[in-house]
């Protein structure tokens, strides 16, 4: 339920306009832009599907042929992404994670797919994926072994980059296991970035560089952005509300450091969307989708699209929410405040619009009301002098015209989120 209390005085309104221009100047020119990886890719956050959270390292195709990491799985997911609306709303990359490799490199030192689980090899799989209008992502590791123990790329960066390009790969997820020093870690991520660019093929570069540096010291995000298109900061996501909460808590604790560096060509990656699996309630799935949009996060689903429920499919394919995630202004949102077990997040959008999310973190009781003054949103800009507000989640409805000194009251379910879009009315 939404109500508005309007207490508009012309003098206050004029003052608001003056303040807005001041805030606008600070907002637009207060921070220098960070230099991005110069490969022309990921100008908006990457969207697609990644196998890891749902299918992990299941290589037992004899007993579990429908859920093992295999050519069959990726052919089926590609077909569904192309035919069931996923490609049409922006989910473009079909990404293989760990456990696709054979245990050893070939006689020329090249990585090779497991011949039993990928009998046609990666090149044939890439050709099929491309024929569906999709792009193929693959996984490797900066160290001596992948996290699951398959051959790593240390000492083979140039060979592996050329191999991926020859196969027609479009994205590389580069993990950081089994690396013996921070220097080798940093040098390896840089080396692979340059090697991929030298191939001449457009390959999105997804790093886990800062994730493996945080335990020792704070990463240099300006440097990381010069080499990577997106980068993981925190532990793997699990199919649980506790996991989602821990990712959001880490993000808000470090937002002053990580938010300013994100933008077209380089994004913070809070990990996969687990919507459509088993561990999140409907409200918690809404929260993940809303806040991944606010955070300008890569939208890489990890679920079984062959057996996804209609409710989860509709949420993941919500064009209005995807439009926030993909907004061309390319500024990451942030938590504005936390009080009484509510969080308010906001994100600046193109055309002076704003996205606002109100999250109810309480895990007991029923829906709770939250009232917010519109003057506090968007650094005073979001509804100045007035705005049109549309609720996008949990259900879409137009809330109407509001003035700068209005207040907005909403009800939010436990662990749920209300996502709003505020646009200039005049």
The active-site residue out of 166, 187, 236, 386 is 236
| CA dist., res. 426 & res. 421, Å (int) | 15
Rounded to 10°, the helix 157-167/182-198 angle is 40
**Residue 98 annotated among the catalytic residues of the structure:** no
Q: Using alpha carbons, select from 338, 265, 262 the residue that is nearest to residue 294.
A: 262
The Cα–Cα gap between 273 and 50 comes to 9
Q: How far apart are CA 246 and CA 404, in angstroms?
A: 34
DSSP E strand stretches across 302-377: 334-339, 342-348, 354-360, 368-373
Kindly compute the dihedral angle of the four CA atoms of residues 372, 375, 380, 385, in this order, to the nearest 10 degrees: 130
CA 190/CA 169 separation, integer angstroms: 19
Residue 106 annotated to the active site: no
Query: 173 pairs with which residues across the strands?
Result: 139, 206
Among 97, 175, 271, 283, the one annotated catalytic: 175
Phi, psi of 62 (to 5 degrees): -70, -45
Strand partners, 397: 391
N-terminal to C-terminal alpha carbon distance within the chain: 25
38, 193 contact by CB (below 8 A)? no
Give CA angle at 156 (154, 159), nearest 5°: 155
Residues 424, 383: contact at Cβ < 8 Å?
A: no
Residue 43: alpha-carbon gap to chain centroid: 13
The phi, psi pair for 12, rounded to 5°, reads -65, -40
Contact 420, 18 (CB under 8 A): no
Catalytically annotated residues: 175, 236
């Amino acid at each position: 339920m939404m109500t508005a209390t309007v207490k508009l005085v012309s003098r206050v309104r004029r003052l608001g306009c003056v303040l807005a221009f001041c805030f606008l100047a600070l907002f637009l020119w207060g921070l220098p832009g960070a230099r991005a990886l110069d490969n022309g890719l990921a100008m908006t956050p990457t969207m697609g599907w990644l196998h890891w959270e749902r299918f992990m390292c299941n290589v037992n195709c004899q007993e579990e042929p429908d859920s093992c990491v295999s050519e069959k799985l990726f052919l089926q997911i590609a077909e569904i992404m192309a035919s069931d609306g996923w490609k049409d709303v922006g989910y473009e990359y079909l990404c293989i994670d760990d456990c696709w490799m054979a245990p050893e490199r070939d006689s020329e030192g090249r990585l090779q797919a497991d011949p039993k689980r990928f009998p046609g090899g990666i090149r044939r799989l890439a050709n099929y994926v491309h024929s569906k209008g999709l792009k193929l992502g693959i996984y490797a590791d900066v160290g001596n072994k992948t996290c699951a123990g398959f051959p790593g790329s240390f000492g083979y960066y140039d060979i592996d980059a050329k191999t991926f390009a020859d196969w027609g790969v479009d994205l590389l997820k580069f993990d950081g296991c089994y690396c013996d020093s921070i220097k080798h870690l940093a040098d390896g991520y840089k080396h692979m970035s340059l090697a991929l660019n030298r191939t001449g093929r457009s390959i999105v570069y997804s790093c886990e560089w800062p994730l493996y540096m945080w335990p020792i010291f704070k990463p240099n995000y300006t440097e990381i952005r010069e080499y990577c298109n997106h980068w993981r900061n925190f532990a793997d996501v699990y199919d649980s509300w506790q996991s989602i909460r821990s990712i959001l808590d880490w993000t808000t604790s470090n937002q002053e450091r990580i938010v300013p560096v994100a933008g077209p060509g380089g994004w913070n990656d809070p990990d996969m969307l687990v919507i459509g699996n088993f561990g999140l309630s409907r409200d918690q799935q809404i929260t993940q989708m809303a806040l991944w949009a606010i955070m300008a996060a890569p939208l890489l689903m990890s679920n079984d699209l062959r057996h996804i429920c209609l409710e989860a499919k509709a949420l993941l394919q919500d064009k209005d929410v995807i439009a926030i995630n993909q907004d061309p202004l390319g500024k990451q949102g942030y938590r504005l405040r936390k009080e009484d077990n509510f969080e308010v997040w906001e994100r600046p959008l193109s055309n002076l619009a704003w996205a606002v999310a109100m999250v109810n973190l309480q895990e007991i009781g029923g829906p709770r009301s939250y009232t917010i003054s519109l003057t506090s949103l968007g650094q005073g800009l979001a509804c100045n002098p007035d705005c049109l507000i549309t609720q996008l989640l949990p259900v879409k409805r137009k809330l109407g015209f509001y003035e700068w000194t209005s207040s907005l009251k909403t009800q939010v379910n436990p662990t749920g989120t209300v996502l709003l879009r505020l646009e200039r009315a005049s």
